[in-house]
Structure 1
Amino acid sequence: MANMWSAPKAPAFAPTTAALFSVLFTFIYVVPFYLSSATRPSPQLTRDAPSCIRARVRAVTLSSILSLVLTTYVLHQHGGLPLQDIASLLGFWPISLVDTAKSMSLVAILFAGPLFEYGIVENGWTDWIRGRGIYQVLTSWMGYRNFVVGPVSEELIWRALIIPLHVLAKFSAKQIVFLTPLYFGIAHVHHLYEFQLTHARTPLLMAVLRTVFQFTYTSLFGFFAAFVYLRTGNLLTIILAHAFCNWMGLPRFYGRVGVEAGVPIGPPDADKRDDGDSPQYESRGIAWTVAYYIVLVAGAVGFYWQLFPLTESSHALLSL
């Protein structure tokens, strides 16, 4: 990778500085949710209420702009980096659509099983080709949050802003991949409080287990996103991957296809696909289920084999 971005020989920031900024950005993102009655959930107001989503979108937009300006200032004034290098570190430029296509094909391979189920078993492929429902989803507040604001703001904060600080602090690539996503996972722990407010009858243990599960899968996605970001230096790719994963949800790991719904992933109590219509399930032959699990396993194996080849890029930030 001859064009790999090269960090200064001496660390521009101490490791503790990178960690403190990461915590700061996490607080700047989450704390505003609880500063106003319009954004703060209550037994009468869930986080999925349109009024709450609108207010949170405004808060997240301001938080993201503030964090972006602060990072740019710190990198330029204290890190001594020209704006061109900052744009490269933050994944804004250059944008390689080839790298994006390769990385997104890798994500599609991983989700081969769910794509088979939703597209073939449930005959959803015709709707995908026609783009049916896309406008309705993206113009709904929940869809706008799940597929636009969430992916853009979260990947900006936890990948484009936090990772460069760790690169300049001379963290190794493996440390960055496995450390920085923990901030991303921790940022979702506040959902425990919100869930308890709106589901007061749910036992605390079940709520805690639910939060641990959410922390686990958000961190797992974070490991992958950090890996791809370091390998490609491309913020657009990570945003699209995040939106795609939100749409697909957690793959089915049990049960027959076409019978019961799988377990959703993402914001609590939200249908990630949010297409306005609940999927209609009908009995399918056992062969469909067998085919699904074969495709699911094949996708996981293919993902493992193609992880490095499909994320190879001349714009990598660090070698992995």
Structure 2
Amino acid sequence: MSEPDTLQSLFNHWSPAGISSHPTQPPISTRTASLLIALYALVYFVPFYFSRTARPSPTLSRDAPSVIRARIGSVTVSCAVCCAATYLVLAQTASASVPEVLHLMGVWPPALVDGARALLLTALLFLGPLYSYLVVDDGWRSWLALEPLRELWEEWTFWRNYVAGPITEEILYRSASIPLMVAAQAPVKETIFLSPVLFGLSHFHHFYEFRLTHPQVPWAAAVARSVFQLTYTTLFGAYATFIFVRTGSLPAVCAVHAFCNAMGLPRLWGRVRRPWEWEAAPGQRSSLLWSVGYYVLLVVGAVSWYRNLWALTESGNALVSPEAFLPK
């Protein structure tokens, strides 16, 4: 019996009907799994405020190199503790073997080919922004000169946003958290759409930090900013969880997370201009072709992403059987 088959047998295929359709009692309850995930979210960012080095202040931004270094060290320890806790829960209560735990946590096998397909799927969604960055803004020149790689080693914010942040967040919110929902035999749709709320809420402490360093911004604007951030981080959390359970690959979600951080939110209105056209004379208009190309590719990419969502995330390394996504 293959590794995925062994896991599916162990956890009763993690069907959308939950434990009600299976005579076997799950080793932990969904409530216990949810409480542990909530605790993990607190363990991730609360230690920031216990350290004078990691704690922001009106004169010390979260983007300060000293703060970033301290926080990277803190979340590394937090991830190790949470992963150890998940391993103990799975090994002791679910009697899972080491290979089974490593698979549930997306560590082994790494499924790198499946991860590349998931990254390609995500790139389709950002087809318009990729065109804007690489073609309109001549981003291909900076990659040809290896400028992003130099920034990776020279800028702490770059390292945090595209390496340390994606890796540690995916380790904690996917690798350490989702196996608990699998062990609890929670409905897969509930896991995908509800558990990422905690991922979004864990970013809400940015509201306090933003108010601390930007006291001149009105409360209403600061709240709206945080609610918006909560919304898109929750949506991304659902997408990352979907990819994780479909591919069983931690490298896949780490790569997708870093890519999405790099791309940011797509432009949905306004003209797309060449870099020098922003400084053109007030009466001079930029070519519409750049904008037409961008919005056409934005729509084409979104449609292509939707049509390939299931095909490009299909994997023999999945944590769930395909039937788990079917309606009851």
TM-score by length of structure 1 reads 0.90
Pairing 1:8–2:11 present: yes
Q: Secondary structure at the match of 1:133?
A: helix
1:68 alignment partner, one of 83, 88, 94: 83
Task: Describe how 1:22-61 pairs up with structure 2 within 5 A.
Answer: 22-61=37-76
Letter paired with 2:296:
I
Asked if 1:117 corresponds to 2:120, the answer is: no
- State the shift of 1:132 in Å: 2.6
Runs of at least 4 residues off by over 6 Å: none
Show the counterpart of 1:139.
154
Aligned AA (1:304): Y
Candidates 78, 103, 111, aligned match of 1:96: 111
Deviation at 1:281, TM superposition (A): 4.4
Q: Deviation of residue 12 (structure 1)?
A: 1.5
Residue in 2 that maps onto 1:219: 234
Corresponding residue of 1:246? 261
Residue 213 of structure 2, aligned match among 177, 182, 198: 198
Q: TM-score, normalised by structure 2?
A: 0.88
Deviations 1:57-93 (A, max 9, x none): 1111111111111111121122211111000000001
Q: Structure 1 or 2: larger helix share?
A: 2
Residue aligning to 1:231: 246
Q: Percent identity?
A: 44
Counterparts of 2:199 and 2:185 in 1: how far apart (Å)?
20
Residues 11, 182 of structure 2: 8 Å contact kept: no
Query: What letter corresponds to residue 74 of structure 2 in structure 1?
Result: A
Secondary structure at the residue paired with 1:44?
Answer: coil
Q: Find the aligned partners of 1:144 and 1:49 in 2 and give their Cα distance.
A: 13
Match of 2:98 in 1: 83
- 2:222 maps to what in 1? 207
Letter in 2 for 1:199: H
Moved more, 139-148 or 86-95: 139-148
Aligned-residue CA RMSD in angstroms? 1.7
Mind listing any 5+ residue stretches in structure 1 that lack a counterpart? 261-278
Partner of 1:169: 184
Task: Please tell me the residue identity of whatever aligns with 2:193.
Answer: F
Shift of the alpha carbon at 1:130?
Answer: 4.4
CA contact (8 A) 2:11 2:185 kept: no
Aligned length: 301
Q: Which moved more, 1:230-239 or 1:138-147?
A: 138-147
Alignment of 1:176-187 (within 5 A): 176-187=191-202
Report what 1:266 is aligned to: none
Q: Which has the larger radius of gyration?
A: 2
Instruction: Report how far residue 138 of structure 1 moved.
Output: 3.6
Deviations 1:237-288 (A, max 9, x none): 000000011111111111111279xxxxxxxxxxxxxxxxxx9945630111
Q: Could you tell me which amino acid in structure 1 is paired with residue 307 of structure 2?
A: W
* In 1: Cα distance, 2:144 partner to 2:183 partner: 43
Unaligned runs of 5+ residues in structure 2 are 13-23, 281-285
